[in-house]
Chain A
Amino acid sequence: MQVGLIHFVALAAILFSIGMYGALTRRNAIGILMSIELMFNAVNINFVAFAKFISPVEITGQVFVVFVIAIAAAETTVGLAIVLLIYRNFKGVFVDRVNLMKW
């Protein structure tokens, strides 16, 4: 079967759902960040597929992917800094143990 837009969209939907499952069920904060990266990648697949199949003349979708990747990098940096801080204060990175904002 030849691959069209629907296959790319389906792949992105499956990848996003896997990431969502991971983000909802992981206890480890780093695991949650990894799942969020999976979801970002699913969105990026959608952007490039739509750029190819809908507007191949102006590649606006690919421009958006550049911004998504930049913002994902910023998010991961701050997220991992927060994880290290949690590790230092709670002696672990399991988010269900982090139940205090301040004490």
Chain B
Amino acid sequence: MLSETASLVFYTIAFVTIASAVMTVSLKNIFHSALFLILCLFSVAGIFILCEAEFLAGVQVLIYVGGIAMLMIFAVMLTRQLTSFNVKQLNEQKALGSLVAFCFLLIALGAASKTLSVKGGFPLAENPHISGNTTHMLGNLLLTDYVLPFELVSVLLVAALIGAVVLAKKDEE
């Protein structure tokens, strides 16, 4: 359980997250969507801080806001005819898509509340407080227990980089 103040902060950040996420998927102007996506990513960083993941909050701001969202805005600017208001932004699956998403939400919430309400069925920690420096612990874990996935991810990043360059460069005629 979080303290009273932290709970209030959580509700505020959660409201901002959900509202900006709704704006991201519903706005007609894709550039405004990208800006609301940045707000949503920032508030997710706030959620990370509430969960005592300070390093990940920093990583979230650096990589998502500084990298991925900027990349999105670049792509929006490189591709024309997107921001005009008379272009239809939703496809014909609008009703079906919202139905599927809503059903998924109901199933997920129901499963979560059922699972967490079982007494003793879910091994919740007695004192949910991460003691110690999470950055230090993450560094230790990444270079001991998880060193193989860590190296594999670096290979994947290089492959993605080269693949993106190969895909996006102009064909030589």
Name A's B-contacting residues (CB within 8 A). Answer: 1-11, 13-22, 24-28, 30-31, 33-35, 37-38, 41, 44-45, 48-49, 51-60, 62-63, 65-67, 69-78, 80-85, 87, 92-93, 95-96
CA distance A6 to B118 in the complex (A): 12
The answer on a CB contact under 8 Å between B89 and A28 is: yes
Say whether A20 contacts B7, CB under 8 Å. Answer: no
| With A25-B98, A81-B164, A82-B167 as contacts: A15 and B71 at CB distance below 8 Å | no
Q: Which chain B residue lies CB-closest to A85?
A: B167
Question: Secondary structure at chain A's binding surface: helix, strand, loop or mixed?
Answer: helix
Identify A27's interface contact among B48, B89, B100, CB under 8 A.
Answer: B89
Q: B2 contacts A10, CB within 8 Å? A: no
Binding site for A on B (CB under 8 A): 1-4, 6-7, 10-11, 14, 17-18, 21-22, 24-25, 30, 33-34, 37, 40-41, 44, 47-48, 51-53, 55-56, 59-60, 63-64, 67-68, 71-72, 74-76, 78-79, 81-82, 88-91, 93-94, 96-98, 100-102, 104-105, 108-109, 112-113, 116, 122-125, 127-131, 134, 137-138, 141-142, 146, 149, 153, 156-157, 159-161, 163-165, 167-168
- In the complex, what residues of B have CB within 8 A of residue A44's CB? 44, 48, 56, 60
**Bound CA span A11–B97, Å:** 20
B159 contacts across to A, CB distance below 8 A: 74
Give A5 to B68 CA distance when docked, in angstroms.
28
Bound complex: CA A16 to CA B127 (Å): 28
* A-chain residues with CB within 8 Å of residue B2 when the two chains form the complex: 2-4
